[in-house]
Amino acid sequence: MIDNIIDQAWASMLASVLKKRGVSRVEIGDEIDLYIPQSRLLSLVESDPAIPGLLYSSAQESARRNAGIIVNKLGMPPDYFWKFEYWPKARAFTTLEKIVNRVFASIMSHAKEGNLKVTELNIEPLRINVTFDECVECAGITDSEYALCYYHAGTLSGILSGLIDRDLDGFETSCHACGGASCDFNIGDKTDKFIQAGYETYINPPAVGADLASRLEKSLNNIPVRAIGNMVDINYLQLAMANTLLSDPENAAINSFEAGSQLGRRLAPVLADFYGREGLQSVGDYYFQLGVFGVEMKGDKSRLKLVIKECAVSTGAVKALEMTSFLTGELQSLTSELTGTEMVLEESRFDGDNLLLAYVPAG
């Protein structure tokens, strides 16, 4: 199921480059504020030191598989890069740059993930430098001591692995979140000791922390955090969240719920202060303003029912409750904090295109 969601998201992004597609969310549109995927990925990374490695490896696996599928769909021979390591450096760089820029950079640009470019290549040892400017994963985060774009590090190494059919790894050498002008990645053979050392240091940071409450205020106040705007295609959110679940969906969903619950408690005071409204009205305002979904609330704190419409993580063919686990945890804490009553999730199910949730007092 999660594999299918990932493949569907890649296919949808490719289709959007090859031909214009209609908006699948009629009322809200197919873009969300980039704070949403940022807050989810960073909350998961903060909650478990193993998450950077799991996120990287799953993103790498899915990107490598889909890179092969995409080039085949575009009519490229599967052995296009045969004996790549024997090519002159100029030919290797020009050919790789051409395909990455025309296909994968176009996909990411259309999805508003950022601007991808291969900037340097050495054949022996194989080392490829990639720049990813206006990165969606870290834009607006300014207080990190460590580079934190694990999803894109895995995705870029996976794309390049798929193209040249070699086992590659990579790590980030510069990051917007640490004050870098761009997010830069060094990618090379997994057997290269330089790549191994850089990867191990990168994927095992002593700590990753970001002030997500302050970051939320930028989005609520419509403060630009990158030149290409604050919006990103919902396919990116679906890809990122699906990759956090890929290795073990059931247990990962439990951890995702807990991380969402912790984030909800951090955000509740920000929402209450910003919207200045009583009770739960700020919840609906928040999600709608950032393009996540529309919500209809029924009942009260004795039993609160929410009808989630055009939910970004479960729109279209994406119908997996594991994908909604972070959201249901976040909503559990938001409803608890804003009603002054500790609430727990009683029900979570799909009804057609809507996600139905019910929360009741704990105990």
Shared domain for 31 and 81, answered yes or no, is yes
The Cα 192–Cα 126 span in angstroms is: 8
**Of 240, 42, 95, nearest in space to 155 by CA:** 240
Q: Is the pLDDT of residue 21 over 90?
A: no
Q: How confident is the model at residue 23 (pLDDT cuts 50, 70, 90)?
A: low
201, 220, 239 - which closes a domain: 220
pLDDT at 278: 67
In DSSP terms, which residues pair with 130 in a beta bridge? Answer: 118, 185
User: Is 54 contained in some domain?
Assistant: yes
Same domain, 183 and 44: yes
Greatest C-alpha distance within the chain: 71
Quick check: 76 pLDDT over 90? Answer: no
142 in a structural domain: yes
Q: Examine the domain organization and report whether 126 and 34 are in the same domain.
A: yes
Q: Let me know if residue 343 belongs to a domain.
A: yes
- Side by side, the strands of the sheet bearing 343-351 are 294-300, 303-309, 354-361, 343-351
- Is the bond into 78 cis (omega within 30 degrees of 0)? no
Report whether pLDDT(236) > 90: yes
CA-CA distance, 87 to 206, in Å (whole number)?
Answer: 40
Same domain, yes or no: 204 and 321? no
Tell whether 91 is covered by a domain: yes
Residue 201 sits in the same domain as residue 273: no
Same domain, 216 and 252: no
Q: What share of the chain is helix, strand, coil (3-state, %, to 5)?
A: 50, 20, 30
- Does residue 47 sit in the same domain as residue 152? yes
**Each residue of 77-128: pLDDT tens digit?**
888 898 998 999 999 999 999 999 999 999 999 999 999 999 999 999 999 9
Q: Tell me if 226 is assigned to some domain.
A: no
End of a domain among 220, 235, 260? 220
Range of the domain at 349: 248-361
Query: Are residues 186 and 312 located together in one domain of the fold?
Result: no
Give the confidence band of 184 by pLDDT, cuts at 50, 70, 90.
very high
* End residue of a domain, out of 202, 220, 238: 220
- Number of domains present in the structure of the chain: 2
Report long-range pairs for 118-121 (Cβ below 8 Å, ≥24 apart).
Answer: 118/93, 119/184, 120/93, 121/89, 121/92, 121/93, 121/96
CATH code of the domain in which 335 resides:
3.30.1380.20
Give a yes or no: residue 150 inside a domain. yes
Least confident range from 43-47, 128-132, 138-142, 276-280: namely: 276-280
Q: In this structure, is residue 237 part of a structural domain?
A: no
CA dihedral sign of residues 66, 72, 78, 81: negative
Residues 19 and 121 both lie in one domain: yes
Query: Is residue 285 domain-shared with residue 209, that is, in the same domain?
Result: no
Summarize the confidence of residues 236-243 as an average pLDDT. Answer: 95
pTM: 0.95
**Are residues 10 and 74 both part of a single domain?**
yes
Domain membership flag for residue 329: yes
